[in-house]
Structure 1
Amino acid sequence: MKIPAIKKLVETQSIEALREAEEQLINEETPSFEIEGADEGEQLTHVFGAIWILNHMGDHNVDFKTALREFTQKVRISIN
């Protein structure tokens, strides 16, 4: 997972476009826009992260940095 790749998606894509890209990656298709990542798994992780952050920003009226911090905390907890 690379934070700059997630940030780029948050800044350049809508939730709808990200959901479409998620579906395309799951179906082993090529998304309509570039998603950074070494493989489809990492690309999907970046898309999931961007979707979560955009939803969190909208639901809780927080900025990107706050939503990113909360996302990374959730990732750390899930890994441990």
Structure 2
Amino acid sequence: MKVPAIKKLVETQTIESLMEAEAQLINEQMTAFEIEGADEGEKLTHVFGAIWILNHMNDQETDFKTALREFTQKVRTSIS
């Protein structure tokens, strides 16, 4: 997972376009826009992260940095 890749998606894509890209990646299709990542799994992780962050920003009326911090905290907790 690379934070700059997630940040780029948050800044340049809508939730709808990210959800479409998620479906395309799951179905092993080409996406409509470039997603950074070494493989499809990493690209999917970046899309999931961007969707979660955008939803959190909208639902909690928070900024990107706060939403990113909460997302990475969730990831760390799930790994441990």
CA distances 1:22-52 after superposition (whole Å, capped 9, x unpaired): 0000000010000000000000000000000
Tell me how far apart the structure 1 counterparts of residues 63 and 10 of structure 2 sit (CA, whole Å). 11
Question: What residue is the counterpart of 2:62 in the other structure?
Answer: 62
What does residue 32 of structure 1 align with? Answer: 32
Displacement after TM superposition at 1:54 (Å): 0.0
What one-letter code is carried by the residue in structure 1 that aligns with 2:68? L
TM-score, scaled relative to structure 1: 1.00
Q: Provide TM-score, normalisation by structure 2.
A: 1.00
What is aligned with 2:76? 76
Q: Unaligned regions of 5+ residues in structure 1, if any?
A: none
Q: 1:42 — aligned with what?
A: 42
Cα distance in 1 for partners of 2:32, 2:73 equals 30
Offset of residue 59 of structure 1:
0.1
1:4 counterpart letter in structure 2: P
Task: Tell me the equivalent position of 1:13.
Answer: 13
**Structure 2 spans left out of the alignment, 5+ residues:** none
Name the Cα RMSD after superposition: 0.2
The one-letter code sitting in structure 1 at the alignment partner of 2:29 is: E
How many pairs are equivalent? 80
